[in-house]
Amino acid sequence: MKKCRILGLFGNFDDAFAAIGDFKNKKVDGITVDDVTFLSPIEHPDIDDVLGPRPSVIPKVTLCGAAFGITFGFLFLASAQSNFLIQPQGGKPVVPLPSNIVLTYEMMILFSVLFTVVAFLITTRLFRKRKSLYSEKVGIDQVAIEFEVDEKYIDPIKGVFKDNHAVEVREEVQS
Amino acid sequence: MQNNEVYKDINEDLKWAQINKDVLKSMENPRKGYWISVAVCLFLISFAVVGEVYQYNVGMGAANLNWPHMWDLYIATFIFWIGMSHAGTLLSAILHIMNADWRKPIYRFAEAMTTFSLMTAGLFPMIHLGRLWNMYWVLPYLTDRGIWPNFRSPLVWDAFAISTYLTSSALFLFIGMIPDLAICRDNARGWRKKLYTALSLGWRGDDRQWRNFRRTYLIMACFLIPLAVSVHSIVSSDFAMSIMPGWAVTSFPPYFVAGALYSGCAAIITLFILLRYYFRWEEYMTIAILEKTAKLTFAIAMVWTYLNLIEFASVWYGHSAADKEVLLAKFFGPYAPFFWGMIFCGSVVPFALAFEKLRRHLPTMMVVSILLNLGMWLERWMIVTPTLSLSYHPIAHDVMWPSWVQWFIVAGSFGWFGLLFLVFVKVFPSVSMYECKEMVLHRRELANKEISPVMANNPGGGAPATGVSSKSPGVEGS
């Protein structure tokens, strides 16, 4: 069976949410709300209620970044200080904790931010090639629902889109 | 009938397509004043180039920098620009976490201010060193010389903190712009199309992207706030951790942070008015938002004034004769006109912000915001120079005035910052399109709740869709 993409454009959130509600209610057998990709010009405040919880790993990656920053920061400083033997320390500790705490704190923030950004770039799949059904109208004032499904689902999905006042339906058969 | 603009943060009847159109148009078609400002900035930069070339050839003596006055306008202006950078953090991060949605039309340029202020500030330690080519010595890397920087010195902390802040704030600015860059990509041509296509990283606005985008933005905002506080606390440690009279003050870190937020807010007001004029942003940079920014500035001005008084009181009631002498020299000595100028600009002028009529009058606000920033610049100068004139060594008691070289380079820094900022607002959207849409939707929902729940959630602002559909099998959507 050929894989197809279908995209329905809606003039407002209400119609799009109603269409998602139909998919939730199994109006099309074999299609669930988990198959829905929802495209919009903004993140609607109710989107999590409509699509259901979809967890993100970013906070965990940030935590790892913070832990790495603390560990690397302190070890980097301590190892540098331990190897800095040219200047006499004059009785002061070789690894001074007060100043290292300040610098470790900065490193923690730096690595947390860097890890967060890398996690964002990976989880959002930003560097992937853009799918051909993208509509510029999503950047303006319309919302869209997209599916990547077997060919047999295209007509029932189209029916749901039309029932919910889709302003435009686009489909594409993958080669 | 009351004027819409005066009483609303944004007009909730604004169409989403209109927001895109207005913002995209702004990037092509500024008023003449924009180009005049660019010319002024280039002119100021030429001053700095002349000053720096002369200083480079003749030596640091040309700037009148000599013991005990090793730090002067360069370091004072460095602190000023670091302080200015707190504008973006305040408007973007703090107000974002507090859900103050009136920030949405103006936070983008405040974030840009943060990045460019830091880039400007970073020039001053290099200029101050004289030997520009040795600047990289402050960075902690292993060399065959086996020499590491002194990690106990707050000057090295500065290098860590400022580079972390610059990296984080630049990423924060960039990440926040990605959805808007995608809109620019869809509408641009030529070199702009290539630039926006590369920078938007293939953003298409799906739910996965938005969800992760929101989390990333929030997390970065959460990190940026303590980072901003730590940056200016560390800059204050350059002074507070010394034993110089007038500098070893425990209230310096909060005093510096309050001063930074204060100058940042004042600069936001200045640039708000300029951008509103250059790009005809009357629909977005409304008087209501200006009023809120002015009120925030007034509140911070009072905190700064309080911390100033606390500093004077702790010196006055303390037992350090040298500290007291420095304080009295500020009050009555050769630098007194500048000190009282600082008090006037920083503590008296902000009372203009307490009057509604003045807060809504753009020319007055422009003058007030410039005076506030003048006061904040004088504050930094009055921190650095009087102490160096009256240190513990009587042999070092000396009044020094900056030479033309320092003034030229300081003037040039304003040109440099201005030029970076003006290029940014011309090439990138200075008003966040998606955030304005969110704001309009939110305001419209609030308004519609009172009228009819049926009309809510209509993003385009037009009539509900009619159900017209068209089939475009296998056709490129865009």
CA distance A85 to chain B (A): 8
Determine the residue of chain B that is closest to A17 in CA distance. Answer: B457
User: Is B458 within the bounds of a domain?
Assistant: no
> Which residue among B183, B213, B464 places its CB closest to the CB of A11?
B464
Listed residue (B34, B94, B438, B418) closest to B265, CA to CA:
B94
User: Is B234 within the bounds of a domain?
Assistant: yes
In total, the C-beta contacts within 8 angstroms joining chain A to chain B are: 246
CA distance B43 to chain A (A): 36
- Residue A137's CATH number: 3.30.70.120
Contact A37 B148 (CB under 8 A): no
Is cis: bond before B68, omega within 30 of 0? yes
* Listed range (A151-165, B267-281, B285-299) with the worst mean pLDDT: A151-165
pLDDT of residue B101: 84
The answer on A109 and A77 residing in a single domain is: yes
Convert chain A into a string of H (helix), E (strand) and C (coil). CCEEEEEEEECCHHHHHHHHHHHHCCCCCCCCHHHCEEECCCCCCCHHHHHCCCCCCHHHHHHHHHHHHHHHHHHHHHHHHHCCCCCCCCCCCCCCHHHHHHHHHHHHHHHHHHHHHHHHHHHCCCCCCCCCCCCHHHHCCCEEEEEEEEHHHHHHHHHHHHHCCEEEEEEEECC
B61 touches chain A (CB under 8 A): no
User: Is B322 within the bounds of a domain?
Assistant: yes
Which three-class secondary structure state does DSSP give residue B201? coil
pLDDT of residue B456: 45
User: Is B477 within the bounds of a domain?
Assistant: no
Q: Best interface-test mutation with B: which of A5, A102, A107, A154 has the largest number of B CBs within 10 A?
A: A102
pLDDT of residue B450: 66
pLDDT tens column, A96-119? 898 899 999 999 999 999 999 999
pLDDT of residue A82: 82
- pLDDT at A88 > cutoff 80: no
B183 touches chain A (CB under 8 A): yes
B472 touches chain A (CB under 8 A): yes
Burial class (CB in 10 A: 0-12, 13-18, 19+), B451: exposed
Q: What is the biggest distance separating any 2 CA atoms in chain A, rounded to whole angstroms?
A: 82
pLDDT of residue B119: 92
The answer on A119 and A146 residing in a single domain is: no
pLDDT of residue B176: 92
B31 touches chain A (CB under 8 A): no
Q: Which domain holds residue A83?
A: 58-123
Reported as a pLDDT band with limits 50, 70 and 90, residue B467 is very low
In sign, the C-alpha dihedral spanning B249, B250, B253, B257 is negative
Residues B156-185, mean pLDDT to the nearest whole number: 92
Reported as a pLDDT band with limits 50, 70 and 90, residue B464 is very low
- The residues that bridge with A170 in the sheet, in sequence order, are A7
What average pLDDT is seen over chain B? Answer: 86
- pLDDT at A131 > cutoff 70: no
Contacts of B204 (CB under 8 A, 6+ apart): A39, A130, A131, A134, A138, B182
Residue type, B396: A
B59 touches chain A (CB under 8 A): no
The answer on A119 and A77 residing in a single domain is: yes
- The residues that bridge with A10 in the sheet, in sequence order, are A143, A166
Residue type, B444: R
Higher pLDDT, B57 or A175: B57
Q: How far is CA B65 from the centre of its chain?
A: 28
Residues B342-363, mean pLDDT to the nearest whole number: 93
pLDDT of residue B141: 67
When divided into structural domains, chain A yields a total of: 2
Residues B262-274, mean pLDDT to the nearest whole number: 93
C-alpha R_g of chain A: 25
The answer on A139 and A118 residing in a single domain is: no
User: Is B89 within the bounds of a domain?
Assistant: yes
pLDDT tens column, B202-214? 888 888 899 999 9
> Which residue among B148, B186, B201 places its CB closest to the CB of A80?
B148
Determine the residue of chain B that is closest to A6 in CA distance. Answer: B473
Q: Answer whether A147's CB lies under 8 Å from A153's CB.
A: yes
- Residue B33's CATH number: 1.20.1630.10
Q: Which residues of A71-102 are buried (b: 16+ CB within 10 A; e: fewer)?
A: eebbeebbebbeebeeeeeeeeeeeeeebbeb
pLDDT tens column, A15-69? 899 999 888 887 788 888 888 889 999 888 888 888 888 888 999 999 999 999 9
Reported as a pLDDT band with limits 50, 70 and 90, residue B260 is very high
Q: Which domain holds residue B162?
A: 4-451
Q: Answer whether B391's CB lies under 8 Å from B69's CB.
A: no
DSSP letter string over B60-71?
A: GGGGT-BTTB-S
The answer on A116 and A62 residing in a single domain is: yes
When divided into structural domains, chain B yields a total of: 1
Higher pLDDT, B299 or B143: B299
CA distance A29 to chain B (A): 23
Contact B469 A116 (CB under 8 A): no
pLDDT of residue B462: 43
Residues B299-316, mean pLDDT to the nearest whole number: 92
Reported as a pLDDT band with limits 50, 70 and 90, residue B397 is confident
Reported as a pLDDT band with limits 50, 70 and 90, residue A73 is very high
Q: Answer whether A39's CB lies under 8 Å from A143's CB.
A: yes
Contact B223 A112 (CB under 8 A): yes
Contact A170 B147 (CB under 8 A): no
pTM greater than 0.95 (yes/no): no
B453 touches chain A (CB under 8 A): no
The answer on A161 and A117 residing in a single domain is: no
